[in-house]
Amino acid sequence: MLVIVAPGQGAQTPGFLTPWLEDPAFARRFEWLSTVAGLDLVHYGTEADADAIRATEVAQPLLVATGLVAALELFPHPSDAFERIGAVAGHSVGEIGAAAGARVITAEQAMVLVRERGRAMASAAAATPTGMTAVLGGEREEVLAAIEAQGLTPANDNGPGQVVAAGTMEQLAALKDAPPAKARLVPLPVAGAFHTHHMAPAVEHLGALARSVSTHDPRTRVISNRDGQVVHDGREVLRRLVGQIAHPVRWDLCLETMEDLGVTGILEMPPAGTLTGIAKRALKGVETFALKTPDQLDDARAFVDKHGESAGLDLTPTWRVVVSPAKGTFHRDETAGASSVLSAGAAVGDVASSRDRVSITAAHGGQVVEWLVEDGDLVSPGQPLLRLHPEGAA
């Protein structure tokens, strides 16, 4: 099982794009996405200094464009990729690249969204002096309690030993004065308290734009930052992308889902290193590949060949499937089980686990063709549950 992941803001370093742009095909595609974003991303990826590429409105489009174009280098025939990718996930802004990679939105839509996301988040950050501090080590419960005690938000929960606190500078100073035991605090070079209520204005702006964005259901499993669930409805993926701006990133839950899926290999798109580093600590025995430079592409393709397998979501235009969002026991809705047609939004059932109980609906509706699981069956994240024939389809 292969999972492709895309890093978030902070992964960029000065000049990291220089070797990639030596490839004329990469350069042409990258310049096109730069044009869509309305930014000279070539300059920012090659000549700009650390301060310039730290700016939120620059860093976010830079990261998404890099991941999208690098994916075309890794998979020269994109449609073939879905025969080998088991799931995709992105950390924070990396979710936009992951959504485009799964064909929920186009590359051009992704660049417009990330441009507006970066601008709106930079504007929200300017309203109040806020920041973020990584809390490394310590006992998890003590760390979370110390963060809560100062009114801060655990904005990034990245797994064992790495939680990022976010809030006002005064709150962060108070945390520094009263740190959790056995933990090290590292202030992060970011412009504001991302993934907290301070970003609410950005959610409002991007949400208004997103209402006009057309989507498609993903071609592979998309693991959501919000709760680690597998999402297979395009509109829901987009809704979560917008809401995530002011909601904590639960990368720890994303890692749990990868483990539930049976991941054997995780490949991180450039600028890589951060997420594979986390995975090495959290998922023992899972191989990782950090794609940093183009001279690694042959080895990366060999890694894909070694771990790749289809997500099992191959669809024709006249079929839709409803999939499980999580690992657990499937309970079929009695009405759905007795129906031959389900309306859009109709209840299908739920999946119960030791952590929670997740409701499942038929986002698009249609004629019931085949139930693929029985009531009481154990299911895995992204497993097809029900096959539908869309109403009105030929």
Instruction: Write the CB contacts of 79 (distance below 8 Å, at least 6 apart in sequence).
Output: none
Residue 394: predicted pLDDT: 42
Q: Is 195 considered catalytic here?
A: yes
Distances (CA, A) of 310 to 68, 85, 325: 20, 6, 17
Distances (CA, A) of 143 to 131, 162, 185: 18, 10, 11
Q: How far apart are CA 86 and CA 102, in angstroms?
A: 11
Domain boundaries, the chain: 2-124+197-307, 127-187, 320-389
CATH topology of domain 127-187: Alpha-Beta Plaits (3.30.70)
Q: Tell me which of 34, 91, 195, 247 is the catalytic residue.
A: 195
Q: How many other β-carbons are positioned within 10 Å of the β-carbon of residue 235?
A: 17
Phi-psi region of 208 (alpha: psi -120 to 50; beta: other; left: phi over 0): alpha
Residue 35: predicted pLDDT: 97
Q: How far apart are CA 379 and CA 153, in angstroms?
A: 33
User: Which letter, b or e, does each residue of 114-135 get, where b requires 16 or more Cβ atoms within 10 Å of its Cβ?
Assistant: bbbbbbbbbebbeeeebbbbbb
CATH 2.40.50.100 fits 320-389, yes or no: yes
Cis peptide before 294 (omega within 30 of 0): no
Residue 364: predicted pLDDT: 85
Q: Which amino acid is at 301?
A: R
Phi-psi region of 365 (alpha: psi -120 to 50; beta: other; left: phi over 0): left
Q: Tell me which of 92, 232, 324, 364 is the catalytic residue.
A: 92
Q: Is 354 considered catalytic here?
A: no
Residue 82: predicted pLDDT: 84
- Specify the DSSP element, H or E, that contains 238: helix 234-243
Residue 318: predicted pLDDT: 58
| CA dihedral over 185, 191, 195, 196, signed as positive or negative | positive
Q: How far apart are CA 51 and CA 38, in angstroms?
A: 20
Domain spanning 2-124+197-307 has what CATH number? 3.40.366.10
pLDDT, one tens digit for every residue, the chain (394 residues): 999 999 999 899 999 999 999 999 999 999 999 999 999 999 999 999 999 999 999 999 999 999 999 999 999 887 778 889 999 999 999 999 999 999 999 999 999 999 999 999 999 999 999 999 999 999 999 999 999 999 999 999 998 899 999 999 999 999 999 999 999 999 998 889 999 999 999 999 999 999 999 999 999 999 999 999 999 999 999 999 999 999 999 999 999 999 999 999 999 999 999 999 999 999 999 999 999 999 999 999 999 999 998 766 655 545 788 999 999 999 999 999 999 999 999 999 999 998 899 999 998 889 999 999 999 999 999 999 999 988 754 4
